[in-house]
Amino acid sequence: MTLTLMWHGALPTKLQINGPLLDQQQGQDIDQNQRGDRMTITHKTSNTILTLAVATAAIGFSSFSMAESNGSNGAEDQALVILTSDSLQTQGMAMILSNAMQQQGTHLHILLCDAAGDLAIGGYASADAINTPPSNPAGQVKPEGMLNMLLENGASVDVCAIYLPNSENEEGDLLEGVGVAAPGPIAEMMRDPSIPVYSF
């Protein structure tokens, strides 16, 4: 059997079977059936696209929720402060800013070297005190006193690996809780993009 569709633009208008042309009513019936088929296919396709869109949105929302969850449960906020200056005000500024970071929730790693390493020696006292602004109830402060406070509040404090070999002090002279840094772990922190490094 041979079926022949005759088209006008995008729609069929007549159907021939073995040559004879169907009458107008039969042609209209077939035309309507084919239009119905196309509408059914279009409807199914639309449903499929809608389903995929909903699924994609759900996956995107899930990924966003996971990222947000990971962000809230990620590594703690850390900072590495390297202090080498022998300037009293520079030492004081480093300690004041470190204290502010600690109060804002940052876990501090403080590395002391050169003249600043003396701040970590038990019994060390700066020659002078630092005057703070009139609005500050502390009045006068000393860098070693603030370092002690940071240490007591959980900061990690170390002297650099070359400080003790190049001073008259020994490891037993260090304040309790102060260690001697190894280059490897410090270098890892310096290379870690999530840990800012501040040098004074």
Position 124 scores a pLDDT of 95
Instruction: Encode pLDDT of 47-69 as tens digits.
Output: 444 443 434 343 333 333 333 43
**Alpha helix (H) residue ranges in the chain:** 24-72, 88-103, 143-152, 183-191
Distances (CA, A) of 58 to 44, 53, 61, 65: 21, 9, 5, 10
3-state secondary structure of 99: helix
Position 184 scores a pLDDT of 96
For the chain (200 residues), the mean pLDDT of every run of 10, in chain order, is 48 47 47 49 44 39 37 72 97 96 97 97 94 85 96 97 96 96 97 97
